[in-house]
């Protein structure tokens, strides 16, 4: 048996206490605990403690330290159970202690994956232009199970998805004045796919968007692409030059009719 000889408050953390004990060879520092553990185990000067009790005290204090780490981590924003587990693992907290902390946090409603999933979906809907597939992937990465994901994603209606996809497409169209409308449409489809929208939503959105340029706008686009192609093929002439120009501009999405018109215009200039 060892005897507590002195208890002092830590200078840098007034909520933690240093425990000094005599194991039979005089007073020495033994361990530290926080105030809750101190009170729970009725630690005081003169108390005799066996080795098993010391181990239990230190184990409970390790839980308290990990608990405080998790609470501070949660203070920044909501976290899923998996995120907290990964964070504590990075802090080198042992698995049994992590399990105890997660159980305590759940019982105090500090963590709730159902509420987390709902909040996450609403935040992504209101602050980003992400499609449902991307949001679902991110929820899976955060350890949310399929049932909770399905429940949370019900918040993201088909109408909302189409509206978001339309806005993404319109923004892209405004920035793509130097591309043909066929290329703009392809870019819009690819962008929406990367952002997590389904083919059905993409097609519905693009059907709602005015994808047709005025004739003079499309002409300006082919002139821009044509000038680039002319510089590239300046070493060619005659039939070979004309074929390379036609092939390039066709790949850029312009119609044969418009290409012929542009080449005729170029020959006159």
Question: Tens of pLDDT along the chain (269 residues)?
Answer: 899 999 999 998 999 999 999 998 999 999 999 999 999 999 999 999 999 999 999 999 999 999 999 999 999 999 999 999 999 999 999 999 999 999 999 999 999 999 999 999 999 999 999 999 999 999 999 999 999 999 999 999 999 999 999 999 999 988 887 888 888 899 999 999 999 999 999 999 999 886 665 667 777 888 888 888 888 888 888 888 888 888 888 888 888 888 888 788 776 65
Report the distance separating Cα 267 and Cα 249, nearest Å: 16
Write down the pLDDT at residue 213.
58
Q: Are the C-beta atoms of residues 18 and 8 closer than 8 Å to each other? A: yes
Of the candidates 175, 157, 170, the one whose C-alpha atom is nearest the C-alpha of residue 205 is: 170
The confidence score (pLDDT) of residue 269 equals 57
Is the four-CA dihedral 9, 13, 15, 20 of positive or negative sign? negative
- Owner of token pair 């290329």: 183
From CA 68, how far away is CA 74, in angstroms rounded? 10
Q: What is the pLDDT of residue 211?
A: 61
For CATH 1.10.10.10, the residue range(s) in the chain are 113-153, 158-208
- Check whether domain 216-268 has CATH 1.10.3470, yes or no: no
Reduced 3-state DSSP string for 34-102: EHHHHHHCCCCCCCEECHHHHHHHHHHHHHHHHHHHHHHHHHHCCCCHHHHHHHHHHCCCCHHHHHHHH
Q: What is the CATH number of domain 113-153?
A: 1.10.10.10
- pTM equals 0.75
Residue 250 has what pLDDT? 86
Burial of 208 (0-12, 13-18, 19+ CB in 10 A): middle
Which among 123, 46, 114, 108 has a CA at the least distance from the CA of 77? 123
- The full DSSP string for 137-171 is HHHHHTT--HHHHHHHHTTS-HHHHHHHHHHHHHH
pLDDT at 116: 96
Topology of domain 158-208 in CATH is: Arc Repressor Mutant, subunit A (1.10.10)
């Amino acid at each position: 048996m060892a005897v507590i000889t002195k208890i002092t408050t830590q200078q840098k953390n007034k909520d933690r206490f240093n425990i000094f004990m005599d194991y039979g060879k005089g007073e020495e520092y033994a361990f530290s605990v926080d105030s809750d553990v101190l009170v729970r185990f009725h630690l005081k000067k003169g108390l005799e403690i066996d080795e098993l009790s010391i181990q239990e005290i230190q184990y409970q204090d390790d839980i308290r330290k990990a608990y405080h780490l998790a609470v501070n981590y949660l203070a920044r924003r909501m976290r899923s159970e998996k995120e907290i587990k990964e964070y504590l693992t990075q802090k080198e907290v042992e698995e049994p202690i992590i399990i105890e902390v997660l159980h305590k946090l759940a019982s105090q409603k500090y963590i709730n994956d159902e509420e987390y999933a709902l909040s996450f979906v609403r935040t992504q809907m209101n602050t980003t232009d992400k499609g449902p597939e991307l949001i679902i992937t991110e929820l899976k990465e955060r350890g949310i199970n399929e049932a909770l994901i399905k429940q949370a994603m019900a918040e993201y209606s088909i109408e909302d998805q189409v509206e978001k996809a339309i806005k993404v497409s319109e923004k892209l169209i405004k920035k793509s004045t130097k591309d043909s409308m066929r290329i703009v449409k392809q870019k819009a489809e690819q962008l929406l796919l990367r952002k997590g929208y389904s083919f059905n939503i993409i097609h519905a959105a693009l059907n709602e968007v005015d994808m047709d340029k005025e004739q003079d706008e499309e002409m300006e686009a082919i002139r821009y692409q044509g000038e680039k192609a002319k510089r590239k093929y300046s070493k060619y002439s005659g039939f070979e030059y004309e074929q390379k120009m036609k092939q390039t501009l066709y790949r850029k999405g312009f119609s044969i009719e418009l290409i012929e018109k542009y080449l005729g215009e170029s020959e006159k200039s």
